[in-house]
Structure 1
């Protein structure tokens, strides 16, 4: 049974009024960016709280330390985990529980060792409903469009044909008023996430038209009644054309979305969910595991450039925790960054002398590639052999960083270390810690290696939002292998998922023609049917191919 919580300390959280409405006394603290000892923060309160809720602040990154010394449950609400899971998976292990806005990451946090993990989505806000007849804009969107967000740029370019009005300079009440003047809000996700824009649009009574890909999104707003969903640019166009030509239905669905916010998606509902989660938890875990979680979270934040932390502080924390594979890899990266060659070689020797470390792909990758950086080929080969030869008699002979990177890409993928979305990897500074990073580093060494491109595309295909990178990779592959229709089809589908309607259709049509020329039209048809279960793309292709002969005859 959940414990009764009467007092809550909120850190970087706006849920105070909602908690007050629930009969809970709430105190809010807003420490500055950086690190802060939680026990020291709580010592300044007039009374000890029954629990602490730390809400991720996207504008002022804060890491709470010394969680193990806190006597009450401490909950972390991760708002942006789809781009921060690479460090939050460690941070969450130090809390009593973690709540995440993404349902699939609740499972990932639990698998990473969080004591409790739950899905607590974003929320909307109560607003009066403005009739659609009084709204001047058919479509609106608030969000940043930058060269670093190529998919969103393509989204904006495609949506211009519908008269989409875009803003990136409005916040708070001004943004809500902007949406109050719009009827439809098409949504785009950076990395396949459920984002706040969905709830902002619904709060203003707009019709949300959102990507279907985020897991659980259709449980938040009922499909066809409270929101429309789409898989690619073809379905998005269908949805928008229908909504624009059926204004009465658009308003009806906007009203339903508005009512859904009031019924299920207010701050009050999220505060109640977080209280229920905290009531099922004990105080944060103690011991070496808690210290390890804190050290690795700080290490990854420094490595990614999200917090300016002293290397000496990171080293002290890493040196004070058990010699796990992830800790040893972090130590090697930290010392390598400091330029201490002898210390790096000593750490490599330490790992190679312990099978539990040398056989682990994460530690072996760090040892081998750090040795390559130091021009120590003997140590690099020993690290490779120790991992690749684990349980094997004959292993391939490799030579040089490229070969090692390709080997460890496979080893890390097999061990579950596939990618770290949100981590900006620099192969000149960072040692790879997952399969994608290994392949990116290998491509930097061998930019014309088509096999690297193919392997990298296969991995990126599992990562929502990676379509711009995949379009670049597949464009290069099709350029060198024009007779491979499967590559052309893959490129066309990636284009369509990235809002590139014209290029996508062109590539699929070309792939179909190539399949016919090589006598593989049946294989092409099967592949296309699997990729297009709705039949929408096949219908468009038929209209395109039927129109081509007619156009030729007219000429």
Structure 2
């Protein structure tokens, strides 16, 4: 590989471009494009720029879909900066690139499961900012982020901290510019952090860039590998731990200074844009050309467009979406995308014809996803026989044997269990509407079941069983559990789960009251020992048990 490269960057990465140019590389930089569909080879030809690498950095505002990547004679990389919210289209768009870089290490296996060949971890980055002494900063603690009904956990966190900081300054800002946010951080000692779906987010890097102490949810090894808990930042597992950490750090400028300095040093040794550039250039050395080309590239672009349109991200006429899908090879992925788009626009008669064609022609009989999607489409149309037929096709292909479904509810539950087995649990960032969309995941099926039969105890218990191990979905789980406990109010295990979920979502008082109820119910049934063992297994710090003794 040459020492100095010609690098084309599409998408917002000002600091990375500056670092590349400082190292002597030539950069053709397109931070934003006016067009949704952008023909990159044409733009390169106009600029007479022959790249040694193309890197697209995902833009979280106006989206750009690159065309013509298969014509380029250099490695092509896609940096997915928000894959936890966009995997529903990232996994098809990534097929147009040789290498996909995911900011979330936990999502790398999900990309690979969707057929993306070369996926690597590349975390978000920090910035080279000044870090004023902690003692000179005006704000003890501050939070920047939008509060809305769609993010109840964030509001619960802010309300909880407000109730614990007393007279200390705690500004909460929802509409600052990026530079204003960084300036606020430079005048703040502690930054609390809350993630949407258990992801390592920008706030971790932004706060440490400004020399703040980050107090963030415990997200496990991925986050801990970036900054060391207890030394460079700190974590909490629930509201009790957050309260204890606030008591420890608020007013303790010396400790905050020591830990924020350690994080600031880590930023400058590992997490600046120049460090990410070094990693990218290392990845280039063993990059292999594995992008889709020709008709296959057209197919994956069409599926990407359909996925984005279905989610409401892409505002183009549905006719254009269906036209793109109709002009590519009609394999199972294209047929699935087409059924989903047709469902959104209510093209019932066309869908019916397509379903009959799939059954009559015995097309894609071995495809789990096709059979599930077609079965869901048949249910939507009220065609019970066709819905069952696609289920039995799947069972025959999988050589499985299960009790036959007697009702649409039975069938949707069966599909939900199979989706879980296929690790298709949740689409982050996709706002599923059971009246508009076809289900695609376990959560979609559960939501559809609950909306069809609100308050059904069997459905609520299934939802609770399915969600129990998914801590990142506690905000969603809380509402279902509340409904279930209202009906099964003598079940101490359910009351216990609701109490723990309350604690995980910043409702300390509610959570402790629910745990006290669970303990009382367990005592009435002679199951105090089972309750104690259950609590001990879930209370790693011992703080919950200690607090419960006070009730």
Query: What TM-score range do you get, normalising by the shorter chain?
Result: over 0.9
Question: Who is 1:43 aligned against?
Answer: 45
Question: Who is 2:198 aligned against?
Answer: 192
Match for residue 493 of structure 1 among 495, 500, 509: 500
Separation of aligned partners in 2, 1:191 and 1:115: 25
Q: Number of paired residues?
A: 543
**8 Å CA contact 2:96, 2:292 repeated in 1:** yes
Unmatched runs of 5 consecutive residues or more in structure 1: 545-555
Matches within 5 A, 1:219-298: 219-283=225-289, 284-287=291-294, 289-298=296-305
* Match status 1:375 vs 2:382: yes
Matches within 5 A, 1:394-413: 395-413=402-420
Separation of aligned partners in 2, 1:79 and 1:20: 22
Matches within 5 A, 1:309-458: 309-353=316-360, 357-390=364-397, 395-458=402-465
TM-score (structure 2 length as normaliser): 0.93
Q: What is the deviation of 1:3?
A: 6.3
Question: After alignment, is 443-452 or 290-299 more displaced?
Answer: 290-299
TM-score (structure 1 length as normaliser): 0.93
Question: Who is 1:548 aligned against?
Answer: none
Q: What is the deviation of 1:98?
A: 0.9
Q: What is the deviation of 1:68?
A: 1.9
Q: Is the partner of 1:98 in helix, strand or coil?
A: strand
Change in Cα spacing, 1:33 to 1:220, as seen in structure 2 (3 Å) is farther
Q: What is the deviation of 1:33?
A: 5.6
Separation of aligned partners in 1, 2:44 and 2:221: 37
Change in Cα spacing, 1:350 to 1:413, as seen in structure 2 (3 Å) is farther
Separation of aligned partners in 1, 2:322 and 2:113: 27
| Residues 393-445 of structure 1: per-residue CA shift (max 9 Å, x gap) | 96534344323222211122222221111100011111111111111111111
Match for residue 57 of structure 2 among 42, 55, 58: 55
**8 Å CA contact 1:207, 1:250 repeated in 2:** yes
**8 Å CA contact 1:92, 1:98 repeated in 2:** yes
**8 Å CA contact 1:198, 1:208 repeated in 2:** yes
Change in Cα spacing, 1:113 to 1:384, as seen in structure 2 (3 Å) is closer
Separation of aligned partners in 2, 1:115 and 1:85: 15
Q: Is the partner of 1:466 in helix, strand or coil?
A: helix
Change in Cα spacing, 1:3 to 1:470, as seen in structure 2 (3 Å) is farther
Question: After alignment, is 314-323 or 501-510 more displaced?
Answer: 314-323
Q: What is the deviation of 1:22?
A: 2.1
Change in Cα spacing, 1:394 to 1:52, as seen in structure 2 (3 Å) is closer
User: Which has the higher relative contact order, 1 or 2, with Cα contacts under 8 A spaced 6 or more apart?
Assistant: 1
Q: What is the deviation of 1:110?
A: 2.7
Matches within 5 A, 1:90-101: 90-101=92-103
Question: Who is 2:19 aligned against?
Answer: 18
Change in Cα spacing, 1:354 to 1:512, as seen in structure 2 (3 Å) is farther
Question: After alignment, is 349-358 or 484-493 more displaced?
Answer: 349-358
Change in Cα spacing, 1:103 to 1:209, as seen in structure 2 (3 Å) is same
Unmatched runs of 5 consecutive residues or more in structure 2: none
Separation of aligned partners in 1, 2:346 and 2:115: 33
Question: After alignment, is 324-333 or 87-96 more displaced?
Answer: 324-333
Change in Cα spacing, 1:33 to 1:60, as seen in structure 2 (3 Å) is farther
* Match status 1:171 vs 2:172: no
* Match status 1:72 vs 2:62: no
Separation of aligned partners in 1, 2:523 and 2:361: 57
| Residues 301-358 of structure 1: per-residue CA shift (max 9 Å, x gap) | 0000011133233223333444443332222222334444443223212332466724
RMSD: 2.1
* Match status 1:208 vs 2:211: no
**8 Å CA contact 2:303, 2:337 repeated in 1:** yes
